[in-house]
Structure 1
Amino acid sequence: MSKITGDAFNVSLLKRVFQYVKPYRRIFIWSVILTILLALLAPVRPFLIKYTLDNYILKGEYNGLLMMTIVMLVLLVLQSVVQYSHTLLTNTLGQSAIRDLRINVFNHISRLKLKYFDKTPIGQLITRTVSDLETISDIFSEGLIVIIGDILQVVVIIGVMFYADWELTVVVLLPMPILMIATSVFQKAIKSAFQEIRSEVSNLNTYLQEHITGISIIQYFAREKQEYRKFVQINERYRDANIRSNWYYSIFFPVVEVISAMSLGLLVWYGSKSILAKPLDVTPGTIAEFILYIGMLFRPIRELADKFNTLQMGMVGAERVFKVLDTQEMTVNEGTLQPAVMAGNIRFDKVWFSYVEGQHVLRDLSFEVKAGQTVALVGATGAGKSSTINILNRFYEITSGEVTIDGHPIKDYELSYLRGHIATVLQDVFLFSDTIYNNITLNNPDIGLDRVVDAARKVGAHDFIMQLPGGYQYNVMERGATLSAGQAQLISFIRALVHNPSILVLDEATSSVDTETEMLIQHAIDNLMQDRTSIVIAHRLSTIQKADQIIVLEKGEIMERGTHQELLKIDGYYKRLYDLQFHSGGIVKS
């Protein structure tokens, strides 16, 4: 991907943008037709005024004046209708294309590997999918089509002016080179300012997203004042960038007005001189016509630099958005295997894995979980427990080795099928700002309320849900802020149960639950695990004593394995951890 240069006429980039216009070809064609029509209608009114002044007003013909007044009113209505239709169509075209592009971007982002999100600020992605996309819509509503229309209008007006009086036209256009120079300087300056604004918007969004999400940490450590001061600095940089862009406008627009006044002054001087010297050569109507032409000529030229930069910013936004779309860090869905039944026989064979090249998190990991069995993973933080779960779901790809389910490599399975048969209950439960029912079903229409209620009863959560206002229609707010940690965890258990997985993963799923709640759901967990392959990561050894196999990991390698009783007989890590928890009453996180 090339550097973001803001090249407004980057042909390859424009082609990619206009790919999203194809479904709206008719709207685009009509927009172009109306653009041409507006340019052709522009010089008509000044010509009619000139004709009326010379042929009716100066000669005192009232009937002719009335007729031309009616003609000009009809023309004005026609121009208004055409301008309204043009504005409506160009905006509809832009918003329709951006709607499709935004859907495409969201769909692409949702399929990216978690590795991409590990190194990309969420606020930056929000900027790409919201404000950067809006700048692309401006390419249609305020950019390319409007620029072409303005240029066409300028060409038509200059052509009509030369046809009306070429000598007068040359005099009027004498200040034009000064305007061109001023426009070029302004265009370069405002381009730099706009690029700075886009950069500061991204910084602002990233900061806000991260700090609003982590507001509890800020308040826990009383960092409000420090973070406030940092936000003030970011906000001031954004303000300064906007002020700089406004400063350029405040200089450029008066310069254009001065140059326009110079043309008007030259017109009055030369025209008056011609009328006095050769009355039949330049008529008062011609002077009036040219006065109107000057206004119509300088207005689009004045706005052209601004619209050109709007187009440039659209191109900058497009390049940023397409950079996200061109990201290839996606889980490749090569597999097509979708058996009617997944038994859940899991096998890790000499698996090596690293998040950062050369820094292995799993080292030559080999173990097997037979269908219907439960294996527990135990180890210190960073031992590789959660990484094992991540690669089973194909969130990350292994460096070497093989992971199979029912004898087939996981790459052979269709991705949505694979993940649809693995239900994971995490320690950090994420609930959307939606109803309890939708958080459980994840908007799956195949899961009815009766099935949800039945699962809630098995987990032991039905009673507390029914005590909430609206029951299963209660809105839990973002991240489940209106529920306790235990209640949110219970909902995650219901979510896993209703999806009826072949493989169940509990990643420290009871660590956020108090002892009383843990006892409440332990029986439900046992039922949930029955006849299912289960992988349990837990720091509370009481929850894994019934596991068919316990694997102790250290730095990505298996140090111990066996049943609870077998490991107690070994004076190793598991025995020490068990003694620490049950004899000292301590809790050690894995």
Structure 2
Amino acid sequence: MKDFIHLLRRFIPPYKWKLAWNIVFNFLSAIFGAFSFLLLIPSLQILFGTQELVTIKPEFTYSISSFSEYANYLISQVIIKYNHEKALIFIGIFIIITVFLKTGFYYLANYMIVFIRNGVVRDIRSRIYKKILKLQLGFFSDERKGDIMARMTGDVTEVENSIMNSLDMMIKNPILIIVSVAVMVYMSWSLTLFVFVMFPIAGYIIGRIGKSLKKESRKGQNKMGEILSVIEEDLSGLRIIKAFNAENKAEERFEKENESYFNIMNQLMWRRFLAHPMSEFLGTAVIIIVLWYGGQLILNHKSSLDAAAFIGYLVFFYNIINPAKAFSTALYSVEKGLASMERIDKILNTQETIVEKPEATPIKDFHSDISYQNVSFAYNSTPVLKNISLNIKKGETAAFVGRSGSGKTTLVDLLPRFYEVTDGKIMLDGTDLRDLKLKDLRNLIGYVNQEPILFNDSFYNNIAFGLKNVTEEQVINAAKIANAHDFIMDTENGYQTTIGDRGDKLSGGQKQRISIARAVMKNPPILILDEATSSLDTESESLVQDALVKLMKNRTSLVIAHRLSTIKNADVIYVLHKGEIVEQGTHDELLASDGRYRKLHKMQMF
């Protein structure tokens, strides 16, 4: 319950007035529901002659007894002036009016809860998505994509179905119980005291089952995340699975996870479906015990209640049983939903390591140089870069070569602050990157990587991605510079043709040229090229290389390359080995020295 209240404190404040109105309407609904039964008892006693007619008009005050006495007086007047049949009609109209008010206020309470339920779910989804966009790339290296997707979809849906659907019951039922208990105490405080001795026993049993439900639910959501991860991996690697005849292996892995989820959900559902019969049984047992105890008191004339009042008392007691059962069911659902909320909070509560300082300096252009000063970087305490120092002047092309795992990509990823340096600093025009506005910094940098990242959208929207107020002429011009215009126009709908999931309708060279066109559209003064041609055939490489030459013109470029032929014209080449710069110079200077670069060059020429 403490976790549920904490959840409400986090997400309910924007809807506090709607919550207040919901409570008011639920309270009014409970009041009119109570009075429809409470005033019916003396009315029927007078109607059937078990109580004398009231001929003297009572003084009216705002109390339960005053309302009861005044109702008796009105019914007595109808019987005196007309007859018992008219009084029966009067009672019927009275009940219809009170029930109408009860149900009307109940609807208004639900009307308000709709805003709260749907608003909280919307806010949770928005917070998760915004958080994911803000989190550093290292977070996603540690997490499985399928599990993150499960939290954004399945866990949010579970919170919606379990917690938000139960929110109305969690508010309405306590109000009904409080109003009914107040009336019961008014009718017989001693009998009500006995009732409250019985309820904690039932509550304890229900609470124990609810806790076990939360535990099983957490297991189920974790397992669903693992299943989604398997599906995502297998869909991405379907070509490899088929090529290696590994369908049976993939199927076995999936079936193992699926069977485990099946067993967990069986345990969960068995406990969940135990909620209703358990609460039904316990409620009935308590009613029978109260009926036995109260009946004994009345038969032995030890109670202030007569038989008719005791029947009314039991009606109010039954009004507690139903909300209590619904409340217990809601508790089961809330416990199940809180397990999903814990998984969501793992994302929401993750500390952001790439943060912008409050007094960060805006930057609109790049003027002089980029300087790495004794930069070191470790990922999860594993050293990746060690004491890197270099300087790249505006307009220069700096290339980075070395074996896979030597730290080339990490080195350039530090510039747009995809990761934060562990030691040292990177300066842009003499200012530490950490002192600059993050969005301004990234606006200065264009990125073309080895595997083009495209979206399931049109050519036009992929090229203009992230930009506002873009004209078609600008998009076409960017595509021409990237040697992409011709193949785009050969498609069915030209620039409005959808390129498929991750651009799967295109060849590798076409994807890369769209990626280059996107960088051209951004028109950044600094360009990062991460092995942009390494996976292409010779013809595609020629077209892409030509597009890259146009793109790099008059820009400061950081180029990662495996094919040394593509960087022979670079102003400076840095050779990395095990996270350190072991050589630097021009292509000719490095070939003249008998070092690591020359060995790499000989291997490629061979």
TM-score by length of 2: 0.84
- Range moving further from structure 2, 140-149 or 419-428: 140-149
Indicate how the Cα distance of structure 1 residues 270 and 409 shifts in structure 2: closer, same or farther if over 3 A, else same: closer
Give the superposed CA RMSD.
3.3
Indicate how the Cα distance of structure 1 residues 580 and 275 shifts in structure 2: closer, same or farther if over 3 A, else same: closer
- 1:402 partner SS: strand
Deviation of 1:154 after TM superposition, in Å, equals 2.0
- 1:553 partner SS: strand
In structure 2, what residue type is equivalent to 1:18?
A: R
Residues 513 and 547 of structure 2 are in contact (CA less than 8 Å); yes or no, is this contact kept in structure 1? no
- Range moving further from structure 2, 501-510 or 157-166: 157-166
Q: Is 1:363 matched with 2:389?
A: no
Q: Is 1:431 matched with 2:454?
A: yes
Deviation of 1:395 after TM superposition, in Å, equals 1.4
In structure 2, what residue type is equivalent to 1:356?
A: N
In structure 2, what residue type is equivalent to 1:449?
A: E
Distance 2:563 2:233 in 1: 31
Q: Is 1:18 matched with 2:41?
A: no
1:30 maps to which of 21, 27, 32: 21
Partner of residue 375, structure 2: 351
Distance 2:317 2:196 in 1: 9
Q: Is 1:183 matched with 2:206?
A: yes
Q: Is 1:576 matched with 2:599?
A: yes
- Range moving further from structure 2, 30-39 or 249-258: 249-258
- 2:523 partner SS: coil
Residues 276 and 329 of structure 2 are in contact (CA less than 8 Å); yes or no, is this contact kept in structure 1? no
Residues 113 and 396 of structure 1 are in contact (CA less than 8 Å); yes or no, is this contact kept in structure 2? yes
Residues 425 and 496 of structure 1 are in contact (CA less than 8 Å); yes or no, is this contact kept in structure 2? yes
Give me the identity figure in percent: 31
Indicate how the Cα distance of structure 1 residues 470 and 292 shifts in structure 2: closer, same or farther if over 3 A, else same: farther
Q: Is 1:561 matched with 2:584?
A: yes
Distance 2:234 2:168 in 1: 40
Q: Is 1:244 matched with 2:267?
A: yes
1:551 maps to which of 574, 584, 592: 574
Partner of residue 161, structure 1: 184
- Range moving further from structure 2, 154-163 or 434-443: 154-163
Residues 427 and 507 of structure 1 are in contact (CA less than 8 Å); yes or no, is this contact kept in structure 2? yes
Indicate how the Cα distance of structure 1 residues 134 and 191 shifts in structure 2: closer, same or farther if over 3 A, else same: same
Partner of residue 494, structure 1: 517
Deviation of 1:387 after TM superposition, in Å, equals 1.4
Which whole-Å deviations, capped at 9, do the CAs of 1:300-359 have from their partners, x for residues lacking one? 2222223224334454444444443332232122373334431362222332222232x4
Indicate how the Cα distance of structure 1 residues 226 and 51 shifts in structure 2: closer, same or farther if over 3 A, else same: farther
Distance 2:518 2:320 in 1: 65
Matches within 5 A, 1:75-474: 75-134=98-157, 136=159, 141-143=164-166, 146-164=169-187, 176=199, 179-262=202-285, 265=288, 286=309, 289-290=312-313, 292-334=315-357, 336-343=360-367, 345-357=369-381, 359-474=382-497
- Range moving further from structure 2, 247-256 or 460-469: 247-256
Deviation of 1:511 after TM superposition, in Å, equals 1.8
- Range moving further from structure 2, 531-540 or 200-209: 200-209
Indicate how the Cα distance of structure 1 residues 155 and 199 shifts in structure 2: closer, same or farther if over 3 A, else same: same
Residues 576 and 582 of structure 2 are in contact (CA less than 8 Å); yes or no, is this contact kept in structure 1? yes
Indicate how the Cα distance of structure 1 residues 559 and 155 shifts in structure 2: closer, same or farther if over 3 A, else same: closer
Partner of residue 526, structure 1: 549
Indicate how the Cα distance of structure 1 residues 181 and 555 shifts in structure 2: closer, same or farther if over 3 A, else same: closer
Deviation of 1:130 after TM superposition, in Å, equals 3.6
Residues 91 and 140 of structure 1 are in contact (CA less than 8 Å); yes or no, is this contact kept in structure 2? no
In structure 2, what residue type is equivalent to 1:185?
A: R
Flag the structure with more relative contact order, 1 or 2, with Cα contacts below 8 A and sequence separation at least 6. Answer: 1
Deviation of 1:576 after TM superposition, in Å, equals 3.4
Residues 333 and 414 of structure 1 are in contact (CA less than 8 Å); yes or no, is this contact kept in structure 2? yes
Partner of residue 9, structure 1: 2
Distance 2:560 2:312 in 1: 84
Deviation of 1:298 after TM superposition, in Å, equals 1.5
- 2:355 partner SS: coil
- 2:373 partner SS: strand
- Range moving further from structure 2, 29-38 or 315-324: 315-324
Deviation of 1:475 after TM superposition, in Å, equals 2.0
Distance 1:9 1:108 in 2: 25
- 1:42 partner SS: helix
In structure 1, what residue type is equivalent to 2:412?
A: I
Distance 2:579 2:274 in 1: 64
Which whole-Å deviations, capped at 9, do the CAs of 1:181-200 have from their partners, x for residues lacking one? 43243333333333333433
Partner of residue 540, structure 1: 563
Deviation of 1:287 after TM superposition, in Å, equals 6.0
Indicate how the Cα distance of structure 1 residues 302 and 524 shifts in structure 2: closer, same or farther if over 3 A, else same: same
Indicate how the Cα distance of structure 1 residues 458 and 266 shifts in structure 2: closer, same or farther if over 3 A, else same: closer
- 2:135 partner SS: coil
Which whole-Å deviations, capped at 9, do the CAs of 1:512-531 have from their partners, x for residues lacking one? 32211222232322121111
Partner of residue 43, structure 1: 34
Indicate how the Cα distance of structure 1 residues 488 and 185 shifts in structure 2: closer, same or farther if over 3 A, else same: same
In structure 2, what residue type is equivalent to 1:25?
A: K
Distance 1:330 1:251 in 2: 45
Where structure 2 has 5 or more consecutive residues not aligned to the other structure, the ranges are 51-82
Distance 1:15 1:170 in 2: 31
In structure 1, what residue type is equivalent to 2:474?
A: R
Which whole-Å deviations, capped at 9, do the CAs of 1:389-425 have from their partners, x for residues lacking one? 1111211222323322223322232111111111110
Residues 363 and 440 of structure 2 are in contact (CA less than 8 Å); yes or no, is this contact kept in structure 1? no
In structure 1, what residue type is equivalent to 2:20?
A: I
Where structure 1 has 5 or more consecutive residues not aligned to the other structure, the ranges are 1-7, 585-590
Residues 346 and 369 of structure 1 are in contact (CA less than 8 Å); yes or no, is this contact kept in structure 2? yes
Partner of residue 72, structure 2: none
Indicate how the Cα distance of structure 1 residues 381 and 267 shifts in structure 2: closer, same or farther if over 3 A, else same: closer
- 1:352 partner SS: strand
Partner of residue 588, structure 1: none
Residues 342 and 502 of structure 1 are in contact (CA less than 8 Å); yes or no, is this contact kept in structure 2? yes
Partner of residue 587, structure 1: none
Residues 459 and 490 of structure 1 are in contact (CA less than 8 Å); yes or no, is this contact kept in structure 2? yes
Which whole-Å deviations, capped at 9, do the CAs of 1:353-391 have from their partners, x for residues lacking one? 22232x432233233222111122111111221111111
Indicate how the Cα distance of structure 1 residues 251 and 345 shifts in structure 2: closer, same or farther if over 3 A, else same: closer
TM-score by length of 1: 0.86
- Range moving further from structure 2, 143-152 or 83-92: 143-152
Deviation of 1:19 after TM superposition, in Å, equals 4.1
Distance 2:291 2:375 in 1: 87
Distance 1:176 1:537 in 2: 71
- Range moving further from structure 2, 360-369 or 210-219: 210-219
Deviation of 1:135 after TM superposition, in Å, equals 5.0
Indicate how the Cα distance of structure 1 residues 253 and 370 shifts in structure 2: closer, same or farther if over 3 A, else same: closer
In structure 2, what residue type is equivalent to 1:451?
A: Q
